[in-house]
Structure 1
Amino acid sequence: MKDKIIAVMLSIIMTLNFFDVIADISLGVPFWHIVEESIIVLVSALGALYLIADIRARTRHMATLKEKLTISDNQLKNISQEMKDERLHYSEVIAKQFSQWQLSESEKQVAMLLLKGLSFKEISGVRETKEKTVRQQASSLYAKADVEGRHEFSAWFLEDFMAD
């Protein structure tokens, strides 16, 4: 949202300066002043275009990520009943552990997405929250789980599957 506001502000600056340049030309203002204001128009336009392109790219990336998660969920529907039962059991074990750690609902959502391998940026896009919020929730859940970070957190749930 912040990027959109900045892009709009840059567009307004560009537009106002553009009309100022036109007025200055008709008033016979010195050439150096017209060049200076033209540079402001150009830089504002480039900044706005860059932000708009970046916003579109991030939006496409998040849409793709959501689509991949949906596809992944659909693929899980095609697994055998035994695998479904085991997956359900493991999900219950994870949920029970989250409850023992007394994670909030938001922390539980972040924790599950971390276990699925998503980055903080991807999680913030999927949950439609700020990345800073996701980082704070992750830090809180790491503290409650008494682990140092995302790798140790994931390993906590996977180490029992590793052969000795």
Structure 2
Amino acid sequence: MKDKAIAVLLAIIMVLNFFDVITDISLGVPTWHIVEESLIVLASAIGFVFLVRDISNRTKRINQLKSELDKSGIQLKNISEEMKHARIKYSEVINEQFNQWRLTKSEQEVAMLMLKGLSFREISGVRDTKEKTVRQQASSIYVKADVEGRHEFSAWFLEDFMEPDS
């Protein structure tokens, strides 16, 4: 907006000085004065052209960036949809594994909350049970899953997503 105001101001200076030069020529003003004012007209015209080009280039770049942003938004939406689909599939795989280990419904809930990173205290709060009950269920989960503890339990589900060391 500020650039457009400056461009308009330069255009006004250019036009007014141009008419002043024309008037000065008809009045027989000294040549040095006409040259001086002609240089002001020329400088104003050059500044106007450069400023208009710059405004035009920036406007094109802004429009290009807006277009890229729109495309990115669409891609992000598609990625989000892919992530939702992957999350659903992964949850199915996890639940299938829970069934293979023959976890009870309560143990499955505790196991899923552990995988989400909740502490035993947080799980007991979410499930409205005692923390001791959650710890006992976790111990039962570890036995059924044949793992040593919480970290190994979580790692069991993540290791397939890790790239093997070279």
The secondary structure found in structure 2 opposite 1:80 is: helix
Trace 1:1-164 onto structure 2 (pairs within 5 A). 80-164=80-164
2:93, 2:101 → 1: CA distance?
12
Write out per-residue CA displacement over residues 72-106 of structure 1, whole angstroms, 9 at most, x where no aligned residue: xxxxxx97211111110000000000000000000
2:79, 2:87 → 1: CA distance?
10
The secondary structure found in structure 1 opposite 2:113 is: helix
Write out per-residue CA displacement over residues 133-159 of structure 1, whole angstroms, 9 at most, x where no aligned residue: 000000001000000000000000000
Write out per-residue CA displacement over residues 6-52 of structure 1, whole angstroms, 9 at most, x where no aligned residue: xxxxxxxxxxxxxxxxxxxxxxxxxxxxxxxxxxxxxxxxxxxxxxx
Aligned structure 1 segments of 4 or more residues deviating by more than 3 angstroms: none
Structure 2 counterpart of 1:145, one-letter code: A
TM-score (norm 1): 0.52
Partner of 1:68: none
Partner of 2:14: none
Segments of 5+ residues of structure 1 without an aligned counterpart are: 1-77
Structure 2 counterpart of 1:155, one-letter code: A
Write out per-residue CA displacement over residues 52-85 of structure 1, whole angstroms, 9 at most, x where no aligned residue: xxxxxxxxxxxxxxxxxxxxxxxxxx97211111
The secondary structure found in structure 2 opposite 1:112 is: helix
1:106, 1:122 → 2: CA distance?
15
> Aligned residues: percent identity?
77
The secondary structure found in structure 2 opposite 1:99 is: helix
